[in-house]
Amino acid sequence: MDLGPHAAFIWGSYGAFVVIVGLLIGWILFDGWRQASALAEADRRGLRRRSAKEGGA
Amino acid sequence: MKPMQTLTQRLANPTRFMEISRTILPWVAGGAVLFIGYAMYLVFFVSPPDYQQGETVKIMYIHVPSAWLAMMGYSIVAVSSFGLLVFRHPLADVSAKAAAPIGAAFTLCALITGSLWGKPMWGTYWVWDARLTSVLILFFLYLGLIALRSSLEDEALAGKLTAVLALVGVAILPVIKFSVDWWNTLHQPSTGFTSTVDPSMRTPLLLSAVGFTLLFIALHLKGMQNEILRRRVKAMRLAQVEHGDQLFSVRAE
């Protein structure tokens, strides 16, 4: 694919975009996994929220 | 007869929000992949070079959606902040907190891709014109919101103070939007997409904008889910600590 004399700027833009958005997606997915693990661990240890006793969410 | 509930009232329950968002998240994320994939196919294999800019116009297909999402992200933060301060909606703070880093990331994308587009077209990576400077201020506003929230341990207070700052900062949105009309800027004026852009470029641009908007929504939903889980874990740990304190005080008596 020939992107002309400014190819470096085009690939640089798309590269920076992919890195930033990729890191954002990775961070959010990793954070989701971390919170789900923490919740599962808390459940396993029998921890309950105060609202859980009252049937709340 | 059961009273009518608005959508926001129905979503006010975090458990119900988790159920609904888990159902729609895969569809939104799938839609984002399809739209972005097709848009990128058109960008790199179908869309022609611009008669003035040549192939450099390809940067437009990620720069314009990034700039649009930078402003949309801040609008979500501002509306959520308003919802927290005025209506005390339980999910408003969760929404504002989740949207800030996503908006900041797309603002950074807009700044970097704009800079890399500016060098071959304008001969410079950066000028302190009104459009570029106001978007840079938006990026710093996002960083300020994230930093302010992180600096306070009391989450309720952090949420309220961050919401106030977000509402003060909303003044930057019309400045960004109209900066190219109010001042002489190196940045081009707003483009009338329905009239001035050829369909061979307009179609991939619109598909790209829709795709990245769906990606933003998917990330926002996932970020809100993460925050709800984090608050649940924190509430469980707090309840355990309080329970431990009660046992300790009973034993001490």
DSSP secondary structure of B101-157: HHHHHHHHHHHHHHHHHHHHHHS-S----HHHHHHHHHHHHHHHHHHHHHH-S-HHH
Portion of chain A with pLDDT greater than 90, in percent: 58
For residue A18, the tally of other CB atoms under 10 A from its CB is 12
Q: How confident is the model at residue B195, as a pLDDT?
A: 63
Question: In which residue ranges of chain B is pLDDT below 70?
Answer: 1-5, 7-9, 11, 191-195, 243-253
Q: Which of B59, B105, B222 sits opposite A21 (nearest CB)?
A: B105
Q: Is residue A33 predicted with pLDDT exceeding 90?
A: yes
Global pTM reads 0.90
Nearest-Å Rg of the Cα atoms of chain A is 22
Q: How confident is the model at residue B180, as a pLDDT?
A: 81
Cβ-defined contact of A49 to B232 (cutoff 8 Å): yes
The interface predicted TM-score of the complex, written ipTM, equals 0.89
Q: Which of B14, B56, B215 sits opposite A9 (nearest CB)?
A: B56
Bigger pLDDT: B174 vs A18? A18
Q: Of B192, B153, B206, which is closest to residue B38 (Cα–Cα)?
A: B206
Query: Chain A window 18-57: which residues touch B at a Cβ cutoff of 8 Å?
Result: 20-21, 23-25, 27-29, 31-32, 35-36, 38-39, 42, 47-51, 57
Q: Which of A5, A10, A50 sits opposite B58 (nearest CB)?
A: A10
Tokens 């599962």 belong to A40
CA angle B165, B169, B170 (to 5 degrees): 120
Contact residues on chain A for B229, CB-CB shorter than 8 A: 32, 35-36, 38-39
Q: Is residue A57 predicted with pLDDT exceeding 60?
A: no
Cβ-defined contact of A32 to B229 (cutoff 8 Å): yes
Q: How confident is the model at residue B103, as a pLDDT?
A: 98
Question: Letter for the amino acid at B84?
Answer: L
